[in-house]
Structure 1
Amino acid sequence: MTKLFWGIMTGIALLATSCDKSAAPDPAPADQPADKTDTLASLKVMSYNIHHCNPPSKPDYIDINAIVGVVKAQKPDLLALQEVDVNTSRSGALNQAQEIANKLHMRYFFGKAIDYQGGAYGVAILSKYPLAETTVHRLPVKAGTEGEPRVMATAKVTLPDGTTMRFGSTHLDAQSDPANRQLQVRAISDIAAGESLPFIIAGDFNATPDSDVINALDSQFKRTCQVCAPTIPASNPSKAIDFIAYRHPANKFDVAGHQVVSEPYASDHRPVVAVIKIEK
């Protein structure tokens, strides 16, 4: 796409990209193990659209323990969640981000996309390591599309050896027209271009690898899969729309492993897990 096209699209956006700074993320549970001081050789990263912890086979049933069990089996260092409910009536007025983090003994930050049923709905970041500079980046929506507001939540993560990186969780527009997703991924790419820290992003992009949306993502990030296994629907997946991607100013990241977890019950998406090697 030309620069002129993107200028026009951005100019007619209903919601310009903005960000909300959070004073601090919620702390780790009291029994969170002390941080190590050794140097990490790799990071295990997981992305999971959790469908507000509602198994598709059980309408109106919330099963947080099913989501926790799936995550616990993978033991990620960093976890990006999408479709997270906080204090909504449909999910039992429970802070799902906090509850999942407590059960996993991880720190967390919730990024609200919209108000919903008396509470909030959005994305979350969970981490074994300290979080700071937590931010909700509000992504643009094209005027007249009635697109639901979308966000990218980011946090600075401090690794055991004291080095820092940025981690993000996002969930792009789901409409059949890709116009909003194109605006949103361009906004994410612009944020990444101005970032000096190593940056890992994970989420539900609602776009397949052959789309212009993922091509735009690839302009700033490297995905942990190039031939990507499908992630939806969970019962019999046919499309890959959930991805983990990274960028490092000194090219110190590389992929040591990537998989889509075979999990058909807990959500309508299958989770994605990648091991990102940190070169020294």
Structure 2
Amino acid sequence: MKQFLLKVLYFFLFLIVASIVFFFWAKSPNLEKSDYAKVVQFDNSQKTEDDSTISIISYNIGYLSGMTNNTSVRPTEEFYQGNMDKVLKDLRAHRPNILALQEIDYGGKRSYYVNQFEEIGKKLGYQNGGMTINWDKTYVPFPYFPPSVHFGKMLSGQAILSDYVIKEHERVELARVRSHPYYYSAMYLDRLAERILINVGGQDVMVFNVHTEAFDVHTRELHISFLKDWFLRVEEKMPVIMVGDFNSDPTYKEKGVLEFYNDDRIGAMCSKEGLLKEGTLTYPTDTAVEQLDFVFFSTKHFELVDWKVLSEFGQVSDHFPVFTKLKLKK
């Protein structure tokens, strides 16, 4: 009996040690942190006209996983390639000067090791692009069951593809969720604001690509307040555009995107009166019921020319992209 109990004890000790070793291995990064923000030059000679009009698409592409995003479904490699082909075709039809992407993979296992940033940047003929990493883990054991659907090697983030020369590029980590236990926080992604400086029609313009906290309300409120304050500080000096997945529907009771709408210095692609109407909802793409994706701009610098939620992209992602055209005021 004593030998049996000893074997049981050793077995549980082995499980504990193995779990600790696996945890620290799994949470280790693939890249150095110095590689988390880069400007990449593409071999494209296309030049942007020296014009005061700028077109932007903000798109949470959900690593091209469609409505399987964060579910216990492992789509085939052909599924991802089909979605890549469709998104390239649809983006060519609208081809913005600035393409801001969230949840884009840089060669992770879940999307079959394709660098979606390079694929899209090169095939759409962009001059350069800013890449930022916000999720870098050796092995992510999610979705939890079955193990065959685990994300595994994770390398994902945000990106801004640009026809304009990127003069400055910055990756800024937003506040982390404080309520997460250590083991969860260690495997969780960073929420980011990606910032670039470009020149449009002879004038410097600051562009932000943001992705705020989705699940913790208090943390998302901190993100929204921080981003609005940053927007207004930049707006005093130069034209500013802030786009992205704000994870905040106008109907949410907590502090959210309406903070932007309630300030006359900030314009939006969609008027406050037009919120949550047919054609403005962006999530989810099977039956859209929320408006989470926005384009904001400084009203003293820009006038709105056109905007549209591009629902024709279908279920390539669980979000629809938002197209906006702005013109610098003289």
Q: TM-score, normalised by structure 1?
A: 0.83
| Structure 2 Cα separation of the partners of residues 143 and 23 of structure 1 | 25
- Provide, for residues 78-112 of structure 1, a one-character-per-residue CA deviation record: whole Å limited to 9, x for no partner: 11111111110111222211211111111211111
Structure 1 regions of 5+ residues with no counterpart? 1-18
CA distance in 2, matches of 1:269, 1:22: 25
User: What's the counterpart of residue 310 of structure 2?
Assistant: 261
SS at match of 1:256: strand
Alignment of 1:98-109 (within 5 A): 98-106=118-126, 107-109=128-130
1:39 pairs with 2:90: no
> Does 1:141 pair with 2:176?
yes
23 and 123 in structure 1: CA distance in 2 versus 1, 3 angstrom threshold = closer
Find the residue that maps to 1:179 and give its secondary structure: helix
Q: In structure 2, what residue type is equivalent to 1:39? A: D
Counterpart in 2 of 1:25? 39
Q: Report SS of the residue matched to 2:45.
A: coil
Q: How many residues align?
A: 255
AA paired with 1:200? I
Residue of structure 1 equivalent to 2:19: none
Check if 1:82 corresponds to 2:102: yes
Give the TM-score normalised by structure 2.
0.71
**1:128-180 per-position Cα deviation (integer Å, ceiling 9, x unaligned):** 11112100110002411457420011100122x332101111111111x4211
**Rounded Cα–Cα distance in structure 2 between residues aligned with 1:91 and 1:46:** 22
Q: Is the 1:24–1:132 Cα contact (8 Å) retained in structure 2? A: no
Q: Is the 8 A contact 1:88 1:119 kept in 2?
A: yes
Once the two structures are aligned, what percentage of the paired residues are identical? 24
Matched, 1:156 2:167: no
Structure 2 residue ranges without an equivalent (≥5): 1-32, 69-73, 138-151
Q: Is 2:186 the partner of 1:172? A: no
Distance (Å, rounded) in 2 between the aligned partners of 1:73 and 1:189: 32
Contact 2:165 2:199 in 1 (8 A): yes
The aligned counterpart of 2:116 is 96
Residue 203 of structure 1 is matched in structure 2 by 244
> Does the alignment pair 1:125 with 2:160?
yes
Range 61-70 or range 121-130, more displaced = 61-70
**What code does the residue aligned with 1:279 have?**
K
**Structure 1, residues 43-69: CA drift from partner, whole Å, max 9, x if none?**
111111101022337834313222222
Specify the code of the residue in structure 1 equivalent to 2:246.
Answer: F
More displaced 10-residue stretch of structure 1: 90-99 or 53-62: 53-62
Secondary structure of 2:249's partner?
Answer: coil
Contact 1:258 1:275 in 2 (8 A): yes
